[in-house]
């Protein structure tokens, strides 16, 4: 199957970081990777993965050279903007039952109303078991939705500024309803519909209201990726930032031959909220994983781990904003990335005077140009947008602190962070090709 069709399947089945990790583990095990916990020692050609809390994963393919000479690393993130369900989420108001949410990552709140939503997540029960839930993806499933004001009554709303006319607190998801009973009815019961929803949760999943305390539910757009356009050249799908790069990076790891340098692909959580937490790139996850690998190669020392990281090269596989012809004033066209233009390199991110940027070294960039040109990979160099129009960051600066060479390299995305994001199929192919060549780089 074409990489594009596999990518669409990955997106359809990977709407949360946990679902992406479990798919990457499946893919890796099918390709000869084993859990590092089951490997006492490692030798050239062997392949292992390290998983952190089911939300981040690192894959290693051991090279024939010394680990102290460094690795070729692809680093992507597998979290995407969404709505997280709060810990006390369920309430009924005037005959409608809602799930209260708190948004995650940079979203335009008004984009999340009036469209079908799905609920994905886990509920951890006191007995130690975990219930996995996905509702809203199968055609026969119910979906969820946030309502918006009808235009007829929106005079006041339409005058407000876009960041405020849908408030974060009101991004609550409809999940049930009841018929209003006559005022004088004797059997008028408070929270009747909420009780009905709780009965369904109990019956279908064995969950009680207090179990939301130890649950992690993510509300995401419902539905599968679709081909976009008469010519089917584009993909419309949720979560392409950054799963377009995570999938192509992981797939590239599956298809490489053992090389001199050890190859690594790390897919992390929490990038969209600043890479914090034990599963984010700001944690010690990567160096701990590398230490486990170095130990199994038989010559562990802190210095070996430091040398390995310091001598590594990394592509921070993250997306860039695609040039938008209808909003061309936001872009410096000569320094913008285009849908279908191939793998996008971004020398630095940040905002204003490059604040917060990890500025990539031209020595490293020259080396990359050389292998990509030799391998006929299409690529482009771009910035996010015009100077002083805004900005953003990736995980590049967190890898750079080890002293390794790193540059952002990914897929161009139109309508980034929208519930439905747009990429070009050709860019998915070029990213995969480029990542594979980089991994095998000597």
- Interface residues with Mn ion (CB under 5 A)? 241-242, 318
In the complex with Mn ion, the residue whose CB is nearer, 104 or 364, is 104
Question: At closest approach, how far in Å is the CB of 259 from Mn ion?
Answer: 27
Question: At closest approach, how far in Å is the CB of 75 from Mn ion?
Answer: 11
In the complex with Mn ion, the residue whose CB is nearer, 76 or 293, is 76
> Residue 359 carries which DSSP code?
P
Alpha-carbon distance 171 to 108, whole Å? 11
Spatial CB neighbours of 171, under 8 Å, sequence gap ≥ 6: 83, 101, 103, 109, 112, 113, 146
In the complex with Mn ion, the residue whose CB is nearer, 106 or 229, is 106
In the complex with Mn ion, the residue whose CB is nearer, 246 or 437, is 246
For 123-189, give the DSSP string. Answer: EE-TTS-EEEEEES-STTS--BB-----GGG-TTGGGS-TTTSS-GGG--EEEEE-PPPPTT-TT--
Question: At closest approach, how far in Å is the CB of 136 from Mn ion?
Answer: 23
**CB-closest chain residue to Mn ion:** 242
**DSSP alpha helix (H) spans, 319-388:** 362-374
For 10-27, give the DSSP string. Answer: HHHH-SSHHHHHHHHHHH
Question: At closest approach, how far in Å is the CB of 323 from Mn ion?
Answer: 17
In the complex with Mn ion, the residue whose CB is nearer, 107 or 135, is 107
Provide the 3-class DSSP secondary structure of residue 382: coil
List C-alpha distances in Å: 208 to 174, 178, 215, 245, 313: 19, 20, 11, 38, 48
In the complex with Mn ion, the residue whose CB is nearer, 336 or 395, is 395
> Residue 257 carries which DSSP code?
P
Question: At closest approach, how far in Å is the CB of 89 from Mn ion?
Answer: 25
Question: At closest approach, how far in Å is the CB of 240 from Mn ion?
Answer: 9
């Amino acid at each position: 199957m074409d990489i594009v069709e596999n990518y669409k399947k990955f997106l359809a089945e990977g709407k949360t970081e946990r679902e992406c990790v479990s798919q990457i583990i499946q893919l890796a095990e099918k390709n000869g990777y084993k859990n590092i916990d089951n490997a006492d020692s490692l030798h050239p050609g062997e392949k292992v993965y390290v998983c952190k809390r089911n939300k981040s994963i690192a894959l290693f393919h051991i090279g024939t050279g010394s680990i102290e000479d460094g690795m070729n690393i692809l680093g992507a993130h597998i979290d995407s903007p969404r709505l997280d369900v709060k810990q006390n989420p369920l309430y009924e108001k005037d005959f409608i039952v809602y799930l209260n949410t708190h948004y995650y990552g940079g979203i335009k709140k008004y984009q999340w109303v009036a469209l079908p939503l799905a609920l994905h997540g886990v509920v951890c029960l006191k007995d130690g078991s975990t219930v996995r839930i996905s509702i809203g993806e199968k055609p026969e499933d119910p979906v969820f939705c946030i309502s918006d004001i009808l235009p007829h009554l929106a005079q006041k709303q339409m005058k407000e500024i876009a960041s405020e006319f849908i408030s974060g607190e009101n991004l609550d998801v409809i999940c049930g309803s009841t018929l209003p009973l006559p005022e004088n009815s004797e059997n008028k019961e408070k929270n009747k519909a909420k009780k009905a929803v709780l009965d369904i949760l109990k019956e279908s999943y064995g969950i009680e209201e207090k179990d939301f305390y130890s649950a992690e539910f993510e509300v995401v757009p419902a539905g599968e990726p679709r081909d976009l356009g008469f010519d089917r050249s584009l993909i419309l799908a949720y979560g392409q930032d950054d799963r377009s790069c995570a999938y192509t990076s992981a797939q590239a790891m599956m298809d490489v031959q053992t090389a001199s340098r050890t190859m690594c692909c790390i897919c992390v959580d929490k990038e969209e909220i600043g890479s914090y937490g034990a599963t984010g790139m700001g944690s010690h996850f990567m160096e701990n994983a590398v230490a486990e690998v170095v130990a199994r190669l038989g010559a562990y020392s802190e210095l070996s781990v430091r040398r390995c990281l310091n001598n590594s090269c990394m592509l921070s596989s993250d997306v860039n904003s695609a040039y938008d012809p209808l909003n061309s004033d936001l872009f410096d066209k000569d320094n913008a990335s285009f849908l279908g233009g191939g793998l996008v390199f971004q020398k630095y991110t940040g905002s204003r005077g490059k604040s917060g940027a990890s500025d990539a070294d031209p020595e490293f960039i020259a080396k990359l140009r050389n292998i990509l040109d030799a391998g006929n990979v299409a690529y482009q160099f771009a910035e996010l947008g015009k100077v002083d129009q805004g900005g953003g960051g990736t995980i590049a600066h967190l890898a750079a602190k080890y002293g390794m060479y790193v540059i952002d390299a990914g897929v161009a995305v139109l309508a980034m962070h929208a519930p439905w994001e747009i990429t070009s199929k050709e860019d998915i192919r070029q990213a995969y090709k480029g990542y594979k060549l980089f991994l095998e780089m000597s």
